[in-house]
Amino acid sequence: MSVEFVRMEVRPGREEVVTKVWRGLLAGFLISVSIGAAVWVLAAVLPHKTGSPFAPIREFCAWVADSRIGSGILESNLAFPIIEGLHLMGIALSVGVLCWFDLRLLGLAFRDVPVSRVWKQVMPVAIVGFSLVFATGFLLFWAEAKTAYESVHFWIKLGLIVLAGVNAAYFEFVTHPGVAAWDSDRIPPRSARLSGLLSLIFWTAVIVTGRTMAYSF
């Protein structure tokens, strides 16, 4: 006599779903307040100007900003706010979506979903978002190249973007190729968790320095 075991799908109740939603909203609120506080502290503590004596780059940035396109973007009543708005939308699409994958790598969300599935779902959206971020960021820099060159916050932001890129490249070419061995693990291995943690830290710091840069111009 054979006994057949039927796997029952357990769905969370309404109260559990509501509780998770409220926890997510509370976490988002606390993160927003923390980022706002960090922006205020950094804007108040760090110097705004680099005071760099390296004239060639400064003169080049001044030439870029004073060009026809740079001046046109900065002086336009529509172009600059539209580009800035698209830049913020790109941040929401890229970093906002990427955070979910980072949380999966940390074992804090979607534990029952394979890492590869989360990756396939979030990365197309994240790539579109990052493409929008870098395209609009290039145009914003074009309009304010001289001011950006003289901003301490701009150089910190640039360094953080490089670190985030190095972390992403390391995960993609070193850690991710072995995903089949831990794809369904509720808690991924240490290397994957470290990549997720560093990604959250670096991209959050990029957003913070981006806001402090804007307020210090």
Q: How would you write the pLDDT of the chain (217 residues) with one tens digit per residue?
A: 444 444 444 455 567 656 766 766 676 667 666 766 766 666 666 556 655 556 677 888 888 888 888 888 888 888 888 999 999 999 989 998 898 899 899 888 888 889 999 999 999 999 999 999 999 999 999 988 888 888 888 888 888 899 999 999 999 999 999 999 999 998 999 999 999 988 988 898 888 888 777 766 6
For residue 128, the model assigns a pLDDT of 93
Q: What's the confidence (pLDDT) of residue 38?
A: 67
Going along the chain, which residue ranges are E strands? none
CA 155, CA 73: separation in Å to the nearest integer? 22
* Amino acid in position 162: V
pTM of structure: 0.76
User: What backbone torsions phi and psi does residue 14 show, to the nearest 5 degrees?
Assistant: -65, -40
Dihedral sign for Cα atoms in the order 9, 14, 18, 21: positive
Closest by CA to 60, choosing from 158, 149, 140, is 149
Q: Is residue 103 within 8 Å of residue 110, measured between CB atoms?
A: yes
